[in-house]
Amino acid sequence: MYQYDQYDQAMVDARVEEFRGQVARRMAGEITEDQFKPLRLKNGLYLQLHAYMLRVAIPYGTLNGRQMRMLGDIADKYDRGYGHFTTRQNIQYNWIKLEDAPQILADLATVEMHAIQTSGNCIRNISSDHFAGAAADELVDPRPYAELLRQWSSFHPEFDYLPRKFKIAVIASDTDRAAMRLHDIGIQIVKNDAGEIGARFYVGGGMGRTPMIAPVIRDFVPALQMVSYAEACLRVYNRYGRRDNKYKARIKILVHEIGADEYRRQVEEEFAHILTLGLEPPAAELERIAAFFADPGLETGLAEGYDRSDPDFAVWADQNTAAHKQAGYKAVVISLKPAGGIPGDATADQIRLMADLAEAYSLDELRVTHTQNIVLPHVKQSDLYALWQKLDAAGLGSANLDLIGDIIACPGLDYCSLANARSIPLAQKISERFASPERQRTLGELKLKISGCINACGHHHAGHIGILGVDRKGTENYQLLFGGSEAADTSLAQIVGPGFSEDGIVEAIETATEVYLKARAEGERFIDTYRRIGAAPFKEAIYG
């Protein structure tokens, strides 16, 4: 994986010291909160419902054991013994003290991590396929391209005050595991008819209060011109994106209002201009970056298959591992969704254990998924059983990947100052209701996503079943949505009908699963059945 050079390290170290001085001045009363707030947000430090919250960037969700261990140590030393992995492949700490924040950033810098650009109207942490570099179906590893974009976007002065925040995802397979088309810019690394590698640009997607699926703006950009094309996309947005209304300020609104064709025309015009400046990175730089992501040490000649005599292990292995590009390996997904648990939360001990296991079994690599789980991307099949035993003993052995228990949930009103309703208690009730592994497997793939407000951090628009918490005259109320997807078949969920209380919506989901089981055809997932038969049978059963 990528390692900082002297420039990366110097920039991060300098930023830590700068922030240390800013915090000292704030604590001494030399600057006001109005002056300090934008400075702390630039360093990922929010003020949430109960305390300061620090969001740490995990570029394209990739980290090594040393970095993961540091995340666990920070949870113990500065927080309350746990961290929360987010839908942006980041981690958040919920109980940070302002006076500790600079030292936390200094500790992170020792393992080449930071919290820069995890807030504010700038280009945020770039996300990617959590199986990148391991997936059997990828064209190439998308992370060198994501890293190139990370370097371009870090401290980019022109894009430090965009109309609104800006999120980019990069993938390199037709199987979208990064919700790519629901980003401000989604990039798919593709090969053209001439066999050249390049980027397909989707621009103007997003969730939030106005969900949109990004249209293709350019089918192919040569790899070394990708940064310039992204620059053109951002430049048009920076020039014309609305700054008078934060609810209309995302790029999706601009692309929608002027139309994809007109947006494309303007981007192409800007792109042509940028190309005349010769700002493209040299091929040697992309090669330098790519070298960090080359073979992490995979062995060749390993046999396929492993001992499946323990039935509980076999169930887990079938559900929570994915095909690897190298024979004899699997990519393993560690579920952070035990029945009744808090989606995405892990204790400091669990975080450190996952770091140890990555070093022992996964060539020192981990990934954070946007579905709030952890991946060990390179596990020998012969090691799977030993790995599972250690995970299971630590409460990390849930065999529910992509099943109804694998719920995405934002922090909701239990932690978030923007939320209107609690998300986590609902996730806990649903996962307890459907706790039976057999029942979950009978239902098959069913992606359930819960947001505590219209900002959609819980991706409810993209859930096969989505739940949106709202405030109805001071009481929590939950809207039910069906039909969303953030995979290659991206679609936006639609509201089914009137909202429910917390208990009511659990019953409604129970009813919906019964309708599905009765109506499904051979091989159909919940969403397939919903798309085939429509909302009416579900509505009738739920609302009468």
Partner 1 sequence: MKILTGNDLASGDVVWWDGMGWSRDVNDAVDVGDQDAAILAAEEAAQRVNASYAIAATQTAEGVRPAHIKDRIRALGPTVRLDLSLRPGDPDAAKQVI
CB of 40 to partner 1, least distance (A): 10
User: Nearer to partner 1 by C-beta: 185 or 342?
Assistant: 342
Check residue 55 for interaction with partner 1 (CB under 8 A).
Answer: no
Binder to partner 1 among 264, 352, 422, 464 (CB under 8 A)? 422
Q: Which stretch binds partner 1 (CB under 8 A): 254-262, 393-401, 414-422, 512-520?
A: 414-422
Cβ proximity to partner 1, 169 vs 450, nearer residue: 450
86 binds partner 1 (CB under 8 A): no
* Nearer residue to partner 1 within complex by CB, 50 or 532: 50
φ/ψ bin of 444: left (φ > 0), alpha (ψ from -120 to 50), beta (otherwise)? left
Among 474, 523, 536, 544, binds partner 1 (CB under 8 A): 474
428 touches partner 1 by CB under 8 A: yes
Report d(CA 272, CA 222) in Å as an integer. Answer: 13
Annotate each residue in 164-193 with x if it binds partner 1 (CB under 8 A) or - if it does not, as one string.
Answer: ------------------------------
Q: Which of 4, 95, 220, 240 binds partner 1 (CB under 8 A)?
A: 95
Is 309 exposed, middle or buried, given 0-12, 13-18 or 19+ CB atoms closer than 10 A?
Answer: exposed
Residue type, 482: F
Minimum distance from residue 281 beta carbon to partner 1 (Å): 41
Pick from 2, 19, 52, 145: which binds partner 1 (CB under 8 A)?
52
Q: Minimum distance from CB of 455 to partner 1 (Å)? A: 15
Minimum CB separation of residue 424 from partner 1 in Å reads 5
Q: Which of 47, 106, 298, 315 binds partner 1 (CB under 8 A)?
A: 47
Contact between 425 and partner 1 per CB under 8 A? yes
Piece of 167-175, 181-189, 411-419, 478-486 that binds partner 1 (CB under 8 A): 411-419
Q: Which is nearer to partner 1, 436 or 501 (CB)?
A: 501
Q: b or e along 352-366 (b: 16 or more beta carbons within 10 Å of the residue's beta carbon)?
A: bbbbebbbbbbbbbb
* Element (DSSP H or E) covering residue 451: strand 448-451
49 sits near partner 1 (criterion: CB under 8 A): yes
Query: Phi, psi at residue 520, to the nearest 5°?
Result: -70, 145
Instruction: Please identify, among the stretches 116-124, 129-137, 370-378, 469-477, the one whose residues bind partner 1 according to the rule CB under 8 A.
Output: 469-477
Is 32 among the residues that bind partner 1 (CB under 8 A)?
A: yes
Q: Specify the 3-state DSSP secondary structure of 528.
A: helix
| Distance (Å) of CA 173 to CA 88, 133, 134, 345 | 19, 11, 11, 29
Asked if 373 and 366 touch (Cβ cutoff 8 Å), the reply is no
Distance CA 55, CA 363 (A): 26
Complex with partner 1: residue 34 or 244, whichever CB lies closer: 34
Residue 518 to residues 430, 497, 513, 523: CA-CA distances in angstroms?
Answer: 20, 21, 9, 13
262-286 residues labelled b (16+ CB within 10 A) or e (exposed): ebbebbeebbeebeeeeebbeeeeb
Of residues 286 through 315, those in contact with partner 1 by CB under 8 A are none
Residue 50 vs 191, nearer CB to partner 1:
50
For 76-115, b/e burial (b = at least 16 CB within 10 A) is bebbeebbbbbbbbbbbbbbbeeebbbebbebbbebbbbb
19 is a site residue for partner 1 (CB under 8 A)? no
Q: How far is the CB of 41 from partner 1 (least distance, A)?
A: 13
Reference 402, options 493, 489, 485, 494; nearest CA is: 485
472 binds partner 1 (CB under 8 A): no
- The answer to whether 29 contacts partner 1 (rule: CB under 8 A) is yes
| Size of residue set near partner 1 by CB under 8 A | 31
Q: What are phi and psi of 231, to 5 degrees?
A: -60, -40
From the list 279-287, 381-389, 471-479, 480-488, the region that binds partner 1 by CB under 8 A is 471-479
Q: Is 98 in the site for partner 1 (CB under 8 A)?
A: yes
- Helix H or strand E segment including 38: helix 33-41
Q: How far is the CB of 542 from partner 1 (least distance, A)?
A: 24
According to CB under 8 A, which one of 17, 21, 97, 323 is a site residue for partner 1? 97
For tokens 């060539």, what's the residue?
363
Pairwise CA distance, residues 89 & 130, whole Å: 9
Chain Cα centroid distance, residue 348: 21
- Residues 241 to 270: which contact partner 1 by CB under 8 A? none
In whole angstroms, what is the distance from residue 269 CA to residue 272 CA?
5
Q: CB nearer to partner 1: give 81 or 497.
A: 81
Q: Which residues of 319-348 are buried (b: 16+ CB within 10 A; e: fewer)?
A: bbbbebbeebbbbbbbbbbbbebbbbbbbb
Nearer to partner 1, 123 or 416 (CB): 416
- Can residue 237 be called a binding residue for partner 1 (CB under 8 A)? no
Kindly indicate which of the ranges 280-288, 331-339, 368-376, 416-424 contains the residues binding partner 1, using the contact rule CB under 8 A.
416-424
Burial of 37 (0-12, 13-18, 19+ CB in 10 A): middle
Tell me which H or E stretch contains 169: strand 168-171
Residues 339-378 that bind partner 1 (CB under 8 A): 342
Least distance between partner 1 and beta carbon 466 (Å): 20
- How far is the C-alpha of 137 from the C-alpha of 114, rounded, in Å? 31
For 42-106, the DSSP string reads TTTEEE-SSSEEEEE--GGGEE-HHHHHHHHHHHHHHSSSEEEE-TTS-EEEEEE-GGGHHHHHH
Which residues in the 325-344 window bind partner 1 by CB under 8 A?
Answer: 342
One of 336, 366, 413, 467 touching partner 1 (CB under 8 A) = 413
**Between residues 29 and 544, which has the closer beta carbon with respect to partner 1?**
29
For partner 1, the binding residues (CB under 8 A) are 26-27, 29, 32-33, 47, 49-52, 80, 94-99, 342, 413-415, 417, 419, 422, 424-425, 428, 471, 474-476
